[in-house]
Amino acid sequence: MKDNAHSIKEPLMRVVKKAELGYTKTALLSLLGLAIAIAAGGAFILIIGHNPTDIYWSILQGAWRSKLAASGTIKIAIPLLIASLGITPAFKMKFWNIGAEGQIIMGGIFATYFALFWAHLPHYLLLLVMFLAGMLGGGLWGLLPAYFKTKFGTNETLFTLMLNYIALYMIKYLTEGPWRDPSSSGFPKIASFDKNARLDLIFGVHAGWLIALILTLVMFIYLKYSKQGYEISVVGESVNTARYAGMNVKKIVMRTMFISGAICGMAGMIQVSGAAHTLGDGVAGGVGFTAIIVAWLARLNPLIILIVTMFFAILEKGSSVMQSSYGLSQSVSSILQGIILFTILGMDFFTRYRIVFRKVRKKL
């Protein structure tokens, strides 16, 4: 019972929350994180015995090496961008919508119905109908978990995850059953769309890119300057605050999830009408999951989402030259994506927290 009684046991280090950083500081730290992430990816390339700068350079070039490759890169980016934008309002509300995949599929299914059975409509009317149908399909698929969340508190992460599979098997059902193309022998598939039901090309790529860019701006303005966007932020920060302020939280959650799902559904419509010209079970193909990562890395800022999407699309498309140039599997892009994501997710810690080390105490 000497001086031991007075000295408090203090851990070697502890984590303290930082005050909100300014815009430039956050941006700088994010860029630093990205640089470290790319370096970490480079370390992996080095380990498998290649030169990182060479590989990165060929990925960058590979994505734009020809007109065809460039349009391929943009085609990868379009659904990813739209789905990321769709997820953003939900995540901003802290509603963990893992169901973009299913919402994309439902959008695709609804749009396909009109493409298959109403193909005689005038071209632009048909496209408009398909567009709205896609949004309705995705929106309803997003509304469903929101309804149960607000009514009974049903866990939305798990619910939306399940809905992905139900949607996926709905495609399987339609492909093998009612919508099966009777003229195709062998493996069941849905017929290719009539020319009338396909999105027009603008500068060699289907019009989806223009829609996606417009949507980016609209979403930016919606979240930042509209009353509804403000409500989303408040609900995301604190449901109770929103309630005390007199907001109708249930209505906001359901409305936002409808919008979130509808935008993802739009991505589905654009995929079937612009890219695949048919409905197959690869219509979403993991885009709904990647979109979550994109939206999160971009800190739910639509303009940054555009940049991150391009980064991912270039990585994915550019990696397709890996096989011919280096004899590496194309899957190197997934590994690099993973490493870069892990690093950025880890680095994000330092923008929000700092570590305090135990001070050396002077003996009295």
Partner 1 sequence: MIINFLFAAIKAGCPLLFGTTGEIMTEKSGNLNLGVEGMMFMGAFVSFYTAYKTDSLALALLAAFGTGVLAAMIYALLTVSLMANQNVTGLALSIFGAGYAKFFGESMISKAGGSPKLSESFIKSISEQPLPLLGDIPVLGKLLFSHNPLVYISIIIAVICTIYMSRTRAGLNMRAVGESAAAADAAGINVYAVKYIHICLGGGICALGGAYLSLINGGGIWNNSNVVNGQGWIAVALVIFAAWNPAKAIFGSLVFGAFSVLQFYVPRNIIELPNAFYVMLPFLITTLILIITSMKKTKKGVQPAGCGINYFREER
Q: Which residues bind partner 1 (CB under 8 A)?
A: 14-17, 96, 98, 148, 152-155, 157-159, 161-166, 169-170, 172-173, 176-177, 286, 289-290, 292-293, 296, 327-329, 331-339, 341-342, 345-346, 348-349, 352-353
CA distances from 270 to 42, 174, 303 (A): 35, 19, 21
**Residue 97, amino acid:** N
H helix intervals, 298-364: 302-318, 322-326, 332-347, 349-352
Nearer to partner 1, 40 or 218 (CB): 40
Distance in angstroms (rounded) separating the CA atoms of residues 298 and 262: 21
Q: Which residues pair with 13 in a beta bridge?
A: 357
Q: What is the largest CA-CA distance in the chain?
A: 93
Nearer to partner 1, 240 or 331 (CB): 331
Q: Are the CB atoms for 287 and 104 separated by under 8 Å? A: yes
| CA distance from start to end of the chain | 16
Phi (first) and psi of residue 13, to 5 degrees: -145, 155
Report the nearest approach of partner 1 to the CB of residue 169 (Å).
4
Nearer to partner 1, 140 or 345 (CB): 345
Report the nearest approach of partner 1 to the CB of residue 203 (Å).
31
Nearer to partner 1, 74 or 315 (CB): 315
Report the nearest approach of partner 1 to the CB of residue 238 (Å).
13
Phi and psi based region of residue 170 (left: phi greater than 0; alpha: psi -120 to 50; beta: remaining): alpha
Distance in angstroms (rounded) separating the CA atoms of residues 330 and 188: 28
Report the nearest approach of partner 1 to the CB of residue 58 (Å).
16
Structure tokens at 253: 């959650």
Report the nearest approach of partner 1 to the CB of residue 225 (Å).
26
Nearer to partner 1, 131 or 141 (CB): 141
Distance in angstroms (rounded) separating the CA atoms of residues 174 and 191: 11
State the Rg of the chain over Cα: 24
Distance in angstroms (rounded) separating the CA atoms of residues 200 and 123: 10
Nearer to partner 1, 137 or 208 (CB): 137
Residue 274 per-residue DSSP state: I
Distance in angstroms (rounded) separating the CA atoms of residues 349 and 358: 20
Q: Are the CB atoms for 320 and 75 separated by under 8 Å? A: no
Report the nearest approach of partner 1 to the CB of residue 335 (Å).
4
Nearer to partner 1, 108 or 274 (CB): 108
Nearer to partner 1, 194 or 348 (CB): 348
Report the nearest approach of partner 1 to the CB of residue 207 (Å).
29
Nearer to partner 1, 78 or 340 (CB): 340
Report the nearest approach of partner 1 to the CB of residue 224 (Å).
22
Distance in angstroms (rounded) separating the CA atoms of residues 293 and 72: 21
Report the nearest approach of partner 1 to the CB of residue 348 (Å).
6
Phi (first) and psi of residue 205, to 5 degrees: -120, 145
